[in-house]
Structure 1
Amino acid sequence: MDHQPHILLVTFPGQGHINPSLQFSKRLIKMGVKVTLLTAFSALNRMTKTIPTPQGLTILGFSDGYDDGFKPGRLHFFSELTKLGSQAVTNLITESSNSGRPFTRLDPSNTAFGGDLFKTSRNCIEWLDSKEDSSVVYVSFGSVCELSNNQIEEIARGLLKSHRPFLWVIRATTTNSGNEEEDKLSCEEELEKQGMIVPWCSQVEVLSHSSLGCFVTHCGWNSTLEGLVSGVPMVAFPQWSDQATNAKLIKDVWKTGVRVIVNEEGVVEGEEIERCIEMVMESEEMRRNAKKWRVMAREVVKEGGSSDLNLKAFLSEIGI
């Protein structure tokens, strides 16, 4: 009988959530734990990599009702999970394994917390290679946040007014007809001359690039930690949930960024976005603080660091 410890990780079906889960799985495997990573077929069916998983990692999927296309912002995935008891989850894994449904096997061992698992970006790393150190503004609002067309236009105005090169992730949206299309920006030609717009990218790889000078973020916890560990100063642009708290940490506790001010209509205007970008890009203090937190963050995950010790204590507490 196999007595090797086995942990089930369940993750939201978005790249920004799957990638950190893959990296966490890798750490658990190194500690002698087998891991099953469970997420929705809607995400697994969209993945592009089909290489073997490391020994000790199994990736399985189940139906969340959107098998033919994940629609960001819909929380059906979570509501269905809350209905599952432990035996139901066990049955679900068994059925998924025997169903013949496709799921992708991945190798998470790279700088991108699992890699660019879905649509590949248009050579954005090569584009970043062509830019000067600490010169590029990176803009991304994660896997779920949906911005109004008005807000997207204001971000575009702010980026253009900054006159700085930028890499902007704008996810493709799904229309009622089921066809994916990118929203047409009124100043798209000007934007393409100054920067690069992609549907997705390997975020940790981008944040780790020497050309990055600023990260305009929705302050989701994954993005917040990735920005902190990468040592990139941030413009905090929170939307909902824990993001306002994370924005406060960035601005007032870690002092690695600024927070945007919203107008009476609930929109952050282009001038305000430009102001915040300039504050971050010109602040030596924020850059020093960002580098300090990068060093500290990397120390704690090393062998014998506080994160490493806490994870071992957790595994010991649950009998592993």
Structure 2
Amino acid sequence: MGTVEQTHQAPHVLVVILSIQGHINPMLQFSKRLFSKGIRVRLAITISVAKSMHTKICPNIISVDTFSDGYDNGIKKEDKIESYIERSKLVGSQTLGDLIKKQESLGNPITCVVYDSFYPWVLDVAKQFNLPVASFFTQSCAVCNIYYHVQQGLLKVPVAGPMVSIPGLPPLAIADLPSFVSVYESHPGIRTIMLNQFSNIDKADWLLFNTFDKLENEVVSWMSNLWPIKTVGPTVPSIYLDKRIEGDKDYGLDLFKPSNEICMNWLNMRETNSVIYVSFGSNVSLGEEQMKEIALALKEGNKYFLWVVRESEERKLPSDFAEETFEKGLVVQWCPQLEVLSHKAVACFITHCGWNSTLESLCLGIPMVGLPKWTDQTTNAKFVEDEWEVGLRIKVEENGIWRKEEIEACIREVTEGEKGKEMRKNCNRWKELAKEAVDEGGSSDKNIEDFIQSMLCTLR
């Protein structure tokens, strides 16, 4: 299919993004895909994100506006999640509505709204303006299916266990469920956000998921019987997959300042498959005991390592760790993860199994060692190890700690063992399938085209 001509009459899509790095990346990448097909895109980001970002958002192709969620200086540790939910809905509904009205008054009306599913109130705002609307889910279909069953009362909580059966999914142990389900009393405010994704979902015109059909075939098929689902992922910059979007080398909005030159120069001096890359994303926080166990495993292992330790986590490192390991390791506060994962020196990825990191590793053919901490990470780790067979999930002790010996054993198996050889073969297979999905005429590319065509139909 051809692109839509980018004129004043072309659809003008407002993409409303949640102010978390792991949610920003996939929605920004989806926006680039829309633009590449002739759709005008306007991002709505919170004022706090605009203040925090270190890079400009595709200034030549995507327009950006800000709205207030009531937390213009960011969310503080003392702010309660329940208060955030209420205030962001109250303030956000008003300021986002004002943004839509402003574009209308400028003769540049919004014709469709795509919103992060964690902001269900955006759907109600869009419908007040009689706009077609799509909810964008940044987590896997499997995880969303679990939350839906809890929200509907189809999966009773607390879960009795030991195993759970959910349509479209393999049998799951309690430990395989998202943490807000398996440990139901934990983080009730965040659990509310997870379940509220489905509070008004029947009003949405489309549900967009950052995944691809072959990766989650059974659950996608089952959920398609309930809703107008379209898989539009993996939302990874084009250079790493189909290379059809010129200059698309990174996501384009960083809330943390990456050490690009330092990381890449260091990797360039390492041999092929000689480096263990370690990163736990933008939100996971580990205790000092856990940081010590990881540090010892890396220090005593036979591989180089590149470890991302955010500034807020640095104090938890063992004293003198950086100095004692400077010959074999590099510790940075943030890094260009896609460039790192695509580097020939990287042998495996020690990861929290967040959905973005999992997809990026699959797309770049890198086997994983999973240390899932909370939220959807435990379910993703289950699929990484047992369904896709591209990594190992480290066994955790009853006190919640992953020990040095277990970490070392998993690294050895993934990088040197027989299982590791099979994992690398599987990684390469999924890498090709991910590329096929976004190639011209691939399943995800076709779903984006179908979304555009059905959106055009609503405007006629």
Q: TM-score, structure 2 length as denominator? A: 0.60
Is the counterpart of residue 8 in structure 1 residue 14 in structure 2?
Answer: yes
Q: Distance in 1 between matches of 2:355 and 2:57?
A: 29
Among 323, 326, 337, the residue aligned to 1:192:
326
2:389 aligned residue: 255
1:91 aligned residue: 98
Q: Distance in 1 between matches of 2:386 and 2:56?
A: 43
Q: Distance in 1 between matches of 2:388 and 2:77?
A: 30
State how 1:165-176 maps to structure 2 within 5 Å.
165-173=304-312
State how 1:95-174 maps to structure 2 within 5 Å.
109-114=247-252, 118-121=256-259, 123-173=262-312
1:293 aligned residue: 430
Among 308, 311, 318, the residue aligned to 2:445:
308
How many angstroms does 1:73 deviate by?
A: 11
Answer with 164-173 or 16-25: which moved more.
16-25
Structure (1 or 2) with the larger CA radius of gyration: 2
Distance change >3 Å, CA 219–CA 50, structure 1 → 2? closer
Q: Distance in 1 between matches of 2:94 and 2:76?
A: 28
Aligned sequence identity (%):
45
2:67 aligned residue: 62
1:19 aligned residue: 25
CA contact (8 A) 1:142 1:218 kept: yes
The Cα offsets for residues 192-244 of structure 1, whole Å up to 9 and x where unpaired, read as 33211111111111111111110111111111111100100001111222211
Q: Distance in 2 between matches of 1:310 and 1:73?
A: 42
Q: TM-score, structure 1 length as denominator? A: 0.83
Distance change >3 Å, CA 314–CA 78, structure 1 → 2? farther
How many angstroms does 1:35 deviate by?
A: 1.4
CA contact (8 A) 2:46 2:67 kept: yes
Query: Which 5+ residue runs of structure 1 have no aligned equivalent?
Result: 97-106, 175-180
User: RMSD over aligned Cα, in angstroms?
Assistant: 3.0
Answer with 117-126 or 202-211: which moved more.
117-126
CA contact (8 A) 1:19 1:112 kept: no
The DSSP-based 3-state class of the residue aligned with 1:196 is: strand
CA contact (8 A) 2:348 2:368 kept: yes
The DSSP-based 3-state class of the residue aligned with 1:252 is: helix
Answer with 187-196 or 264-273: which moved more.
187-196
Q: Distance in 2 between matches of 1:290 and 1:72?
A: 39
How many angstroms does 1:60 deviate by?
A: 2.5
Name the aligned partner's letter for residue 11 of structure 1: I
Is the counterpart of residue 319 in structure 1 residue 424 in structure 2?
Answer: no
Q: Distance in 2 between matches of 1:249 and 1:265?
A: 24
Name the aligned partner's letter for residue 130 of structure 1: M
How many angstroms does 1:48 deviate by?
A: 2.8
Answer with 245-254 or 42-51: which moved more.
42-51
Query: Which 5+ residue runs of structure 2 have no aligned equivalent?
Result: 1-6, 104-244
The DSSP-based 3-state class of the residue aligned with 1:274 is: helix
CA contact (8 A) 1:112 1:203 kept: no
